[in-house]
Amino acid sequence: MPNVSTMTVRRRSWRIRDAVLRLREHGTKDQVYGLPVPPVACRMGTASDLQLQLRDPSGTVSREHAELVPFELDGETVWKVNDLKSKNGLCADGEPLRACVLRPGLEVRLGSLRLIAESEELLVLLSVVRRCLGLAEDRQEHVDQALQSLRDWAAQRAELIVVGDGDLRPVVRRWHNLVIGADVPFTWCEPSEGTDAAAVVKTATTGTLCINTLQRQEAMAVVERVHRTEYAARPQLVLCTADPASAVKLKGGLEKPAVIQMPPLASRASELEDIVQEYTWEIARDLRLPRPELEHVQQLATWSFRSLAEVEDDVLRLVMLRMWGLRAGAARLRISHSSLASWAQHRGLKTP
């Protein structure tokens, strides 16, 4: 039987629905337009006297292109964008419209200017995806493409292929938790000879099925079983591979493939300290602990890592060791104290 782990069941969908706070230009990190607080109607365009004056080198945005109007919907304030009979029009997720409601992650296009609606929860997801794909400005286009792929996947418009080094399970699980919800089932499967594909699919019903494709033939047998399953009961598919060439072959076995490719951690040496710091603060926040001292972060950043999963695991081990000591820390990690001591020795750490 495959290695399968599962959480509780709830129907899946895109869960990020909090209030939109700003619009960010697609492919940029800092070209943002904050929405009025408190919410009041305002116009968007290139005219200098507008509250939301847009930067548009292409010349396709009108002086007064669209209007943002707040209104109440199901007890919350949301924003509606109305086109003001502009020359080059308004699109929402590529569809030409006269008006649309802003939701987190929606891409609004005014002429050729692409704007992404962002909320607090979407900014958390954005930070996590940047950590996985690259923190530099020149990686933002890849980050935004990945965000769109995750939206399509959560809305069941796409099946994901994730390419990256090491154990991809923690990365995909975190994406799953943020875009669909931690209370929706997440099933990890490593198909091998004799895997009962029907049982795997049944276990993952209405949740996410994340498949390690190391054994490609057996993995695709599970995928085929998913595709033969009634649509309402299908799990959402994620296929994991370390080989970009393999991803091309895997696409042929999916109905609506979307690929997210993570660059090797070895190529991101200049970003390592920032990556370690984000993991450290995230783990401390999740465990409701004070932020670890900066010297611990800097110490971690001097270590060598093969993958993001290894970074996360080592950060967690160091936090547990420093906060609770060897035995209590190992107990919280659910490993033996000798295992934690061996790891500490390997990393050149003195155990408390």
Give mean pLDDT, residues 120-137.
97
The model's confidence at residue 4, banded by pLDDT at 50, 70 and 90, is very low
- Residue 284 has a pLDDT of 85
Tell me the per-residue pLDDT of 217-272, one tens digit each, with 9 for 90 and over: 999 999 999 999 998 889 999 999 999 999 999 999 999 999 999 999 999 999 99
- Checking if the pLDDT of 1 tops 50, the result is no
More confident residue, 301 or 14: 14
Give mean pLDDT, residues 111-115.
97
Q: Is residue 76 left, alpha or beta, with left meaning phi > 0 and alpha meaning psi from -120 to 50?
A: beta
Q: How many CA atoms lie within 13 A of 341 on its CB side?
A: 7
pTM: 0.92
The model's confidence at residue 6, banded by pLDDT at 50, 70 and 90, is very low
The model's confidence at residue 350, banded by pLDDT at 50, 70 and 90, is confident
Give mean pLDDT, residues 132-140.
96
Nearest to 168 by CA among 160, 159, 178, 157: 160
Long-range residue pairs from 254-258, CB within 8 A, at least 24 positions apart, any chain:
254/159, 254/161, 254/223, 255/159, 255/227, 256/152, 256/157, 256/158, 256/159, 257/158, 257/159, 257/160, 257/161, 258/149, 258/152, 258/153, 258/158, 258/159, 258/160, 258/161
The model's confidence at residue 9, banded by pLDDT at 50, 70 and 90, is very low
According to the 3-state scheme, what is the secondary structure of the chain? CCCCCCCCCCCCCCCCCCCEEEEEECCCCCCEEECCCCCCCEEEECCCCCCEECCCCCCCCCCCCEEEEEEEECCEEEEEEEECCCCCCEEECCEEECEEECCCCCEEEECCEEEEEEEHHHHHHHHHHHHHHCCCHHHHHHHHHHHHHHHHHHCCCCEEEEECCCCCHHHHHHHHHHHCCCCCCEEEECCCCCCCHHHHHHHCCCCEEEEECCCHHHHHHHHHHHHCCCHHHCCEEEEEECCHHHHHHHHCCCCCEEEEECCCHHHCHHHHHHHHHHHHHHHHHHCCCCCCCHHHHHHHCCCCCCCHHHHHHHHHHHHHHHHHHHHHHHHHHCCCHHHHHHHHHHCCCCCC
- Residue 256 has a pLDDT of 92
The model's confidence at residue 12, banded by pLDDT at 50, 70 and 90, is low
Tell me the per-residue pLDDT of 70-98, one tens digit each, with 9 for 90 and over: 999 888 899 999 999 999 999 999 999 99
- Residue 346 has a pLDDT of 92
Share of the chain above pLDDT 90, in %: 83
- Residue 8 has a pLDDT of 39
Tell me the per-residue pLDDT of 165-208, one tens digit each, with 9 for 90 and over: 999 999 999 999 999 999 999 999 999 999 999 999 999 988 99
Q: How many CA atoms lie within 13 A of 320 on its CB side?
A: 21
- Residue 158 has a pLDDT of 95
Domain 20-120 maps to which CATH number in 3.40.50.2020, 2.40.50.140, 2.60.200.20, 3.40.1110.10?
2.60.200.20
- Checking if the pLDDT of 122 tops 50, the result is yes
Residue 36: phi, psi to the nearest 5? Answer: -60, 140
- Residue 5 has a pLDDT of 44
Which amino acid type is present at position 113? Answer: L
Share of the chain above pLDDT 70, in %: 95
CATH architecture of 125-262: 3-Layer(aba) Sandwich (3.40)
- Could you give the angle at which helices 216-227 and 244-251 cross, rounded to 10 degrees? 30
d(CA 20, CA 32): 13
Question: Please, what is the average pLDDT of the chain?
Answer: 92
Give mean pLDDT, residues 52-60.
94
Give mean pLDDT, residues 23-34.
97
More confident residue, 297 or 121: 121
Domain ranges of the chain: 20-120, 125-262, 267-346
